[in-house]
Amino acid sequence: MLGKDLEPDVSLRSKIVSRYFSGPLGRVILLSVPAQKWTYIGAGLSMMGVAAATAASAWIMQSFFDAVAKPEDRGQIWMVAGAITVIFLARGLFTFLQAVLLAKAGNRVVADIQTRIFAKLMRQDYAFFSATESSDILMRLTQGATAARAMIDQLAVGLVRDLLTFVGLVSVMLWQHAILSLMFLVIGPLAAIGLRLVLQAVRRIAGRELASIADVYRVLQESAAGIRIIKAFALEDLMNARMVKAVRETEARANAMTRVGAITVPMLDILAGMAIAAILLVSTTSLLGGTVTSPGQLMSFVAALLMAYDPARRLSQTRVQIEGNMAGVAMIFDLMDRPEPLTEAPDAKPLPPAPLEITFDAMGFAYGDKVAIHPLTLTCAAGKTTAFVGPSGSGKSTLLNLILRLQDPTTGVLRIGGLDLRQAQLDSLRGAISYVGQETFLFSTSLMENIRLGRRDATDAEVIAAAKVAQAHEFIDLLPAGYQTPVGENGAFLSGGQKQRIAIARAVLKNAPILVLDEATSALDNISERGVRDGLAALSEGRTTIVVAHRLSTIQHADRICFLEGGRVVEDGTFDDLLAKGGKFRALHDGAAQDQSA
């Protein structure tokens, strides 16, 4: 019965949300405000206090001037002085509370949105990061979250403090002299017409301004990542020119936004000035109802009139500011609305115990219309080593991405231990695979912690043992801080070979039942490679190992070698079998031998 009673409410709520909260502004409110509702309620009550105190300060002007006109009435003077003191103390207290509570809620909004965006990024597949520039991601994480916070603050302050303050002051004006107040309110419709024109210009400029900021981020990111190429090819002037262009465009659009937003202030100034001049004429003549009844009443009206101008001005700018932040907020939801191709199935299961067989069952993959892997049926035997070789673009890296479930097949099924990877628990899958890539990535922390990422509960002794297997202990031991040496951003303080040995040590420490090696020794010299190769051979014993290699010496003892070309396996066998066939693998082998002898 309770469920039936609730159904109309749920339906009504969904209709309200669909109608009023489907845009960027409404979605920001639903995303951020409920979690901070008590803080925003406190801020709202404080802003109501500010509005009430502001209206009261205009109201008390009548008593103030009436008291000044009767200096002999000392009791009234003390009463008015005390009331003024209380009003302004209350206003100061409420203003302080409003600022603190809004800042607290706003900071949490930024933190929550950035956390949500990052979590969403972590659920995207490899294709997303391949197609999306890091500067664009940075823009969404920083500018988008800041725009959302600014939008909520502007809405809260505008609808609560400024609107209530304006309503309170207008109420004082109406009470003191209704006809004069109506003359002042004539400027509202005129201001609305001008505001509409301003908003149209703001919409056009805001998106362009964010695009310019993204260009600045892009140039900065490329300059930091490609500094070696920039120096080697003397591209400093080119990069400086690109940065100057991006900064100048950002500056120009920011100035345009400022000019458009600033139009509202002089527009209201002119209209308000005309209204005040007309009020002066009416209040001092017999036009439209004659003069006010007392100097105190007149001063209270004038004080309310002058004080009402400020919230009216801010209210006119609130819509402009919200519109200016709309483009940044739209970036957030453009990302938040992206599908999540790599989510875990509701009924996901853990992988079975090792040893684990990898099976491609009519599995294929395409990037849009471009086929990377044609339907492939292949089994990588449990506890054995399977190598994939072939020219660039043949699909080797795509196969590894699929095994790691950085992407999902577009046709067929990929299984590990008989379980479709789309039905496997992600933690179980990630825990079952050790990976060493060609593009070695290290985190900006110590060598010890970088290796320990393979197994975060490992002891220092276990970390050192893994480093010895990877032939990394010797060079680490020579460093002044040893294993506590910081590596810099992405291992900037290490050579390519040293970074690769740290990555191998990380995989050794993980000790997973599946080992995936993507050109794992490509950055090593021949002597280091031989030692690491022996260590990896020992590590591969009894494990399901997948190897991608250009150095054919690293796969001589593989149990199976698959030669890929155009996304298809065109040759398959052991090292000796493929050489004996005299096909594409033999040509690749002979070409590599000639290169070494040259």
Stretch 425-445: mean pLDDT: 85
Distance in angstroms (rounded) separating the CA atoms of residues 27 and 8: 22
Residue 265 has pLDDT above 60, yes or no: no
Residues with Cβ within 8 Å of residue 575, at least 6 apart in sequence:
552, 555, 556, 557, 558, 561
DSSP string, 354-420: SS--EEEEEEEEEETTEEEEEEEEEEE-TTSEEEEE-STTSSHHHHHHHHTTSS--SEEEEEETTEE
Would you place residue 208 in the very low, low, confident or very high pLDDT band (cuts 50, 70, 90)? low
Higher pLDDT, 15 or 517: 517
Return d(Cα 445, Cα 451) in angstroms, integer.
10
In terms of C-beta density within 10 A (0-12 exposed, 13-18 middle, 19 or more buried), how is residue 201 classed? middle
How far is the C-alpha of 510 from the C-alpha of 453, rounded, in Å?
A: 8
Q: Environment class of residue 223 by beta-carbon count within 10 Å: exposed (0-12), middle (13-18) or buried (19+)?
A: middle
Q: Is the pLDDT of residue 289 over 60?
A: no
What are residue 168's phi and psi, to 5 degrees? Answer: -65, -45
HEC sequence for 211-279: HHHHHHHHHHHHHHHCHHHHHHCCCHHHHHHHHHHHHHHHHHHHHHHHHHHHCHHHHHHHHHHHHHHHH
The DSSP bridge pattern shows strands 568-573 and 560-565 to be antiparallel
Q: How far is CA 203 from CA 150, 195, 200, 212, 292, in A?
A: 16, 12, 5, 15, 45
Q: What is the pLDDT of the chain when averaged over all its residues?
A: 77
Domains and CATH numbers, the chain: 20-336 (1.20.1560.10), 344-429+554-579 (3.40.50.300)
Q: Which residues of 495-530 are buried (b: 16+ CB within 10 A; e: fewer)?
A: eebbbbbbbbbbbbbbebbbbbbbbbbbbbeeebbe
pLDDT (average), residues 186-206: 58
Confidence of residue 409 (pLDDT cuts 50, 70, 90): very high
Q: Is the pLDDT of residue 516 over 50?
A: yes
Better-scored residue on pLDDT, 42 or 6 = 42
125 three-state secondary structure: coil
Indicate the angle between helix axes 178-185 and 187-225, nearest 10 degrees.
Answer: 40
| Percent of the chain surpassing pLDDT 70 | 75
Predicted pLDDT at 358: 94
The span from the first CA to the last CA of the chain, in angstroms, equals 86
**Contact of 301 with 180, CB cutoff 8 Å:** yes
**pTM of the complete model beyond 0.75:** no
The residues, any chain, with a CB within 8 Å of residue 319's CB and separated by 6 or more, are 158, 195, 199
Q: Are 253 and 170 in contact (CB under 8 A)?
A: no
Output the CA–CA distances (angstroms, integers) from residue 437 to 203, 502, 518, in the order listed. 45, 11, 5
Radius of gyration of the chain (CA): 35
SS3 of 473-533: the string is HHHHHHCCCHHHCECCHHHCCCCHHHHHHHHHHHHHHHCCCEEEEECCCCCCCHHHHHHHH
For 54-97, what is each residue's pLDDT tens digit? 888 878 777 776 666 666 666 777 787 788 888 888 888 988 98
**Dist CA 518 CA 522 (whole Å):** 9
228-242, 281-295, 360-374: the lowest-pLDDT one: 281-295
Q: Which residues of 178-193 are buried (b: 16+ CB within 10 A; e: fewer)?
A: eebbebbeebeeebee
Residue 187 CA from chain centroid, whole number = 42
Q: Measuring CA to CA, which residue among 355, 359, 350 is closest to residue 513?
A: 355
In tens, the pLDDT along 307-334 reads 777 787 777 677 767 777 777 788 788 8
For residues 225, 230, 235 and 236, what is the CA-based torsion angle, rounded to 10 degrees? Answer: 70
Q: Is the predicted pLDDT of residue 47 greater than 70, yes or no? A: yes
CA–CA dist 162, 50 (Å, integer): 9
**Which long-range contacts (C-beta less than 8 Å, at least 24 apart) are formed by 481-486?**
481/446, 482/447, 483/446, 483/447, 483/448, 483/451, 484/446, 484/447, 484/448, 485/446, 485/447, 486/444, 486/445, 486/446
**pLDDT (mean) for 108-131:** 81
pLDDT of residue 445: 84
Q: Does the pLDDT value for residue 187 go beyond 80?
A: no
pLDDT score, position 365: 93
What's the pLDDT at 269? 59
Q: Is the pLDDT at 41 greater than 90, yes or no?
A: no
pLDDT in tens, 451-492: 998 888 899 999 999 988 888 888 898 888 889 988 877 677
| pLDDT tops 70 at residue 291 | no
Residues 105-125: what's their mean pLDDT?
Answer: 83
Q: Is the CB of residue 453 less than 8 Å from the CB of residue 506? A: yes
